[in-house]
Amino acid sequence: MWQPFSEEHQQFRKLVRDFAEKELAPHAEEWEASGCFPGWVFKRAGELGIHGAHFPVEHGGSGGDYWYSVVKAEEYPRCRSAGVSMGLLVQSDMATPCISELGTQEQIDEFLAPALRGEKVAALGISEPAAGSDVAGIRTHARRDGGDYVINGQKTFITNGTRADFVTLLAKTDPDRGAHGCSFFLVPTSTKGFGVSRKLDKIGNRSSDTAELFFEEMRIPARYRLGEENHGFMYLMQNFQSERLIGSVSALMGAYYMVLQSEAYARDREAFGKPVLSRELWKHRFVDMHIKIESARAFVYKCADHFNHDRYVEKGPISLETVKLVSMAKVLVGDVVSEVMDTCLQVHGGWGYIEEFPIARAWRDSRLFRIGGGTSETMRYYVAKLLGY
């Protein structure tokens, strides 16, 4: 049987599992109530080498392959707070990979290396009030002024936004070219003209801070542009594959852990004189959930293998075949996770609707996955194009 994980991967798994279960999980309720988790979490993950496990050694990482990132995303959900998992994954798999791939040595030293150490918090600035999955519709713009760029605009739904030290920002540099007139910038949040409009009040993932940001005549040096001018949309489409794939891994494993917790509840909970799990109907529903999770997991592993081959073996761009598979995985996982979480809540009956039970929070948290990083509808649109429809 094909096994993607080596002994070193499994040692790393134990490291991340211990971090999630022993150092993070005991604080889950406290951080959910406060609406944010503390900055030491980023620093501690950096000290343990978790952020940088799949980054090159010369960039401040450990030189591992993409399966280290898969392991991390599978174990983070054990912290019992999807908001914490999301904040950490934005740091290592969404806001920073493009710096490793495109950045100058100066940019790597100033932004990436300290982010992998957990000394700087990163955010990814893409979505806007009028442009979510329709990235081509962004309005934030950057105009060249001598040796600087001057940026004006607004971003929203930005994870880590209230406390980020820098934002990996997408802005229009040539509005007349539409999607092909975008560029990426690395923006220190200490820059004059940057601001946080407000922290958003979400129905789920409440332990992660999500913000609206604004940029008003914000001037940054041209050396903070990431990659070539007007190539940002192409870079983003490559970066999205890591975001969507690692999000699929995390969401699916979060659902799996909730199935295990729900099984334990169904064994102990009696209804009409018998444990719930002794009823044939519920036995079959749990079997169905395991089948769907294992099937989705196998497909996600196929995607991860393709991604790992493109990025870490061939060391090139993500292929269109991988893009198609990752888009399919996001749709599949979104549907499976939604169905599984809803079934797990149902097995709890009325208690599933009470906040003191973990399923209530997990059910709310899981709903984001069919929206964030590209809606399920947008993913189906991409797959249709890649299938030639």
User: Which of the residues are catalytic?
Assistant: 243
Q: Which amino acid is at 121?
A: V
Write the DSSP string, 237-259.
HHHHHHHHHHHHHHHHHHHHHHH
Per DSSP, the residues of 363-374 read HHHHGGGGTTTS
Amino acid at 45: A
Other Cβ atoms closer than 10 A to 232: 31
How many residues appear in the chain? Answer: 389
CA 376/CA 110 separation, integer angstroms: 36
* Strand bridging mode 166-172 / 122-125: parallel
Q: Can you give the C-alpha Rg of the chain in angstroms?
A: 21
Tokens of 115: 């982010």
Q: What is the DSSP string of 181-215?
A: GEEEEEEETTSTTEEEEEE---SS-TTS-EEEEEE
Measured CA distances, 61 to 4, 115, 222, 375 (Å): 21, 10, 26, 31
Q: Which two tokens stand for residue 55?
A: 């980054």
For the chain, the distance separating the N- and C-terminal CA atoms, rounded to the nearest angstrom, is 35
The closest alpha carbon to 301, from 259, 268, 252, 265, belongs to 252
The 10 Å Cβ neighbour count of residue 101 is 17
Backbone angles phi, psi at 207, to 5 degrees: -80, -5
**Of 210, 203, 247, 164, the residue nearest 36 (C-alpha):** 210
Residues 326, 70: Cα–Cα separation, whole Å? 14
Q: Which residues of 112-130 are buried (b: 16+ CB within 10 A; e: fewer)?
A: bbbbbbbebbbbbbbbbee
Beta bridge partners of 188: 166
Q: Checking DSSP bridges between strand 225-226 and strand 270-271, what pairing results, if any?
A: unpaired
